[in-house]
Chain A
Amino acid sequence: MEASAQKPAVSSQRTRSEHRLAWMLCAPAVLAMLAVTAYPIGYAIVLSVQQIDLRFPDEGGFVGLDNYLAVLGSELWWTDFFNTVFLMVTTVAIELVLGMAIALVMHRAIFGRGVVRTSVLIPYGIITVVAAFAWQFAFAPDTGFVNNLPLIADDMDWFGGRFSSFAVIIMAEVWKTTPFMALLLLAGLVTIDKGLYEAAKVDGASAWQRFTRITLPLMKPAILVALLFRTLDAFRVFDTIFIMTRGAQDTESVSILGFNQLISRLNLGLGSAVSVLIFICVFLIAFLFVKGFGTKLDEGRPGG
């Protein structure tokens, strides 16, 4: 190390060199992010303002915002958008309630803690496509077992109607991702000081009061992080719908709409416009969460 005379100079120089080191250490990650995230997003934006169709290699050219106008002016985009929002809101709400319950159980488990926590996580470890097939087979009128259950008509065609399809899609999604929600909530739960509960008990607070007055307020940051992750995920729902209905019976999500334009029609212009719009929606959701609850997101962080 260089020998310096004055103390403040040393510290400022050190801060600066630490900053430089920090940047150098970050650089590979930043470069990787630019290559795998910024470049594809930029390329999608470039494609979205052009007329590009792989089936018609001779055509092409700049069309400005035409593709966006075509998407936003289409009834289909809005149907699919509301389908997606509907799925997002219902799945995340159910997952939050169930996830909280499971987190409390995992937290309280007295014996077999490891076994309980691992077994709860199993659905999350299953590949989404596999889980979707499993649920589809279970509800299929010919091979599934669900229609043999009491109170359910033997020839009920779950994927033949809009709301019954949605019901199965929501169940499969909730089953699959509730463990993730529970895990994030459990992480928040363990940070709460046990002493607070004891003090509340001494003061005569009921179990419900302890939950609403201590657990929930102190878990707010963890809940917000869990909600943010799941909402962003849920908005991009694709696999489950693709396997179960492929968007039939008006169950299409915006991601499937994008897939249809890009992969089925090879219309890269229109498809990229859909993708960019999905990106903007996801960005807005994240922005609203961070702005709306920004200060609370780092609450409860050690030293925060």
Chain B
Amino acid sequence: MTPRRTARALACLATAILVTAGLAACGGGSDDSGPRQLTFFVAIQPGGTIEEVSKRCSEESRGRYEIAPEFLPTDATQQREQLVRRLGADDPSIDIVGMDVIWTGEFANAGWVEPWQGKLKQQVTEEVFPNVIETASFEKDLYAAPFNTNTQLLWYRKDLVPKPPETWDEMIDQAEDLKEAGTIQVQANRYEGFMVWANALIESAGTPILSGPETVDLEQAPTEKALAVIGRLANSSAAPASLSTSDEDSARLGFEAGESAFMTNYTFAYASAQAEAPEIGKEMGFARFPRVDAGVPSKPPLGGFNLAVSSFSDNKDVAFEAAACLANKESQLTAVELDGLPPSRSDLYTDKVVTKAYPGFAGLVKESIEGAGPRPTTPAYQDVSLAVQRTLHPPDKIDPDDTESIYDELKSNLEDAVKREGLL
């Protein structure tokens, strides 16, 4: 390259840099006039809830802010992995975080999300189920506005099962006796869904996994009873062939294909069956998540998203306002209408939108949420969940008649996990 050509190239480059800098400066200067841009990182919802509520809230702000959704994958583990990499690096490009109920302790403890205060705090918790508020709180502070919640019901085939079972043992007996579709669909792949199932069973048996952020509870007798249920199902003819790789979607597909008379799954399963397999859909019955102990009411799983404001946002003031709007009554109704997501406000369960989305079982969903057994709240939640998944998976290794050794292993692994010791 001749010197002159090099010089020209350098000049071009310099001009380009100057022009871009000038544009950036202009962009920075327009902050006062135009709406503030807020980025909302949240799991994608196929029905379009997120786009809809973002648009509505931006409009309602009358030019104060504009919410741009950034979608995360559908899988909870992958959502978290993307978020924590950004938050761990103090990324200012996140303003509002759609936070799964299990991340609160971790995100709050790490200082990634801001506590809510004053009037807005009161506004976003109004009429919300108390245990859902718990999932958005850590050490007495509220870190997120409850948006949607979720719970699992027992879905069964009315044409094959005259009366829904009360307990897991009863359900396994019934399934084993059926000549066709004698299987039970659950979520037992080694992923967060397995933790959801195991936690619900242990809670239903009468003991929480943790009693504090760093204290393992896990009372022996009830835990062994819950483990026996997992082992019994996994080693029974009532287990689908791919039990140890099943998730919410494979469970739904198996049920819709007519392979199973029973399924525990979230509320989306109903609308899905009506649309994808109307023949099965019209025979679809629903009941509360089965009990482990016949004498103790079950504690169904609790899921859902809460909306938090990132500590690294440059627009915290408007972000709180926007998050409050994204989580308000109207937004929750949009979520139930477009994506079938249960509202976190208990007063909405008699609303026409909700009773239309959950024909005949809106009350059951409400009751199930009220009686739910949430997963433990701890900054080390990831370690606790990994420890449970590692110890109990694949589920068929649990001998239903001898659960003592697996109980000891679970307890000692959990004790390491809350202290975040050892490999997982």
Contacts and interface: CB of A to CB of B under 8 A. Distances in A.
Interface stretch (B61-69, B106-114, B322-330): B106-114
A227 to B, nearest CB: 30
A281 interface: no
Interface string A62-78: 00000000110010110
Contacts of A54: 84, 88, 110
Interface in A216-270: 245-249, 257, 260-261, 263-267, 270
B424 A265 contact: yes
Contact of B241 (A155, A247, A267): A155
Interface string A142-155: 10000000000001
A142 to B, nearest CB: 6
Contact of B423 (A55, A77, A249): A77
A261 B189 contact: no
Contact of B379 (A56, A71, A74, A260): A56
**Chain A interface bracket (under 10, 10 to 19, 20 to 34, 35 or more):** 20 to 34
Contact of B383 (A142, A249, A265): A265
A160 B394 contact: yes
**Chain B interface bracket (under 10, 10 to 19, 20 to 34, 35 or more):** 20 to 34
Nearest to B81: A263
Interface in B375-424: 379-380, 382-383, 386, 390, 393-394, 420-424
Interface stretch (B11-19, B38-46, B243-251, B333-341): B243-251
Interface in B241-276: 241-245, 250, 253-254
B90 to A, nearest CB: 11
B379 A248 contact: no
Which of B393, B421, B424 counts the most chain A CB atoms within 10 A?
B424
Contact of A266 (B88, B190, B423): B88
Interface in A128-165: 141-142, 155-157, 159-160
A57 interface: yes
B242 A155 contact: yes
A157 B245 contact: yes
B182 to A, nearest CB: 14
A245 B190 CA distance: 8
A77 B422 CA distance: 10
A74 B422 contact: yes
B77 A264 contact: yes
A57 B110 contact: yes
A55 B106 contact: yes
B85 interface: yes
B138 interface: no
Contacts of B423: 70-71, 74, 76-77, 257, 260-261, 270, 274
A264 B382 contact: yes
Which of A57, A70, A157, A248 counts the most chain B CB atoms within 10 A?
A248
A70 B422 contact: yes
B242 A265 contact: no
B349 interface: no
Nearest to B253: A142
B93 to A, nearest CB: 18
A142 B250 contact: yes
Contacts of B88: 54, 266
B242 A160 contact: yes
A264 B420 contact: no
Contact of B242 (A71, A141, A248): A141
Contact of A248 (B111, B241, B243, B393): B393
A180 B98 CA distance: 43
Contact of B421 (A70, A160, A245, A247): A70
A57 B421 CA distance: 16
25 contacts: A54-B84, A55-B110, A55-B379, A56-B379, A57-B110, A57-B111, A76-B424, A155-B241, A156-B241, A159-B242, A160-B243, A246-B191, A248-B189, A248-B244, A248-B245, A249-B244, A260-B386, A260-B423, A260-B424, A263-B81, A263-B84, A263-B85, A264-B386, A265-B424, A267-B420
Given A160-B394, A248-B393, 10 more contacts: A54-B88, A54-B110, A55-B380, A56-B109, A155-B241, A157-B245, A159-B242, A263-B81, A263-B84, A264-B77
Interface of B: 77, 81, 84-85, 88, 106, 109-111, 189-191, 241-245, 250, 253-254, 379-380, 382-383, 386, 390, 393-394, 420-424
- Ranked nearest first, the 6 interchain pairs of A and B with the lowest CB-CB distance are A248-B190, A155-B241, A157-B242, A54-B88, A74-B423, A160-B244
Interface of A: 53-57, 70-71, 74, 76-77, 141-142, 155-157, 159-160, 245-249, 257, 260-261, 263-267, 270, 274
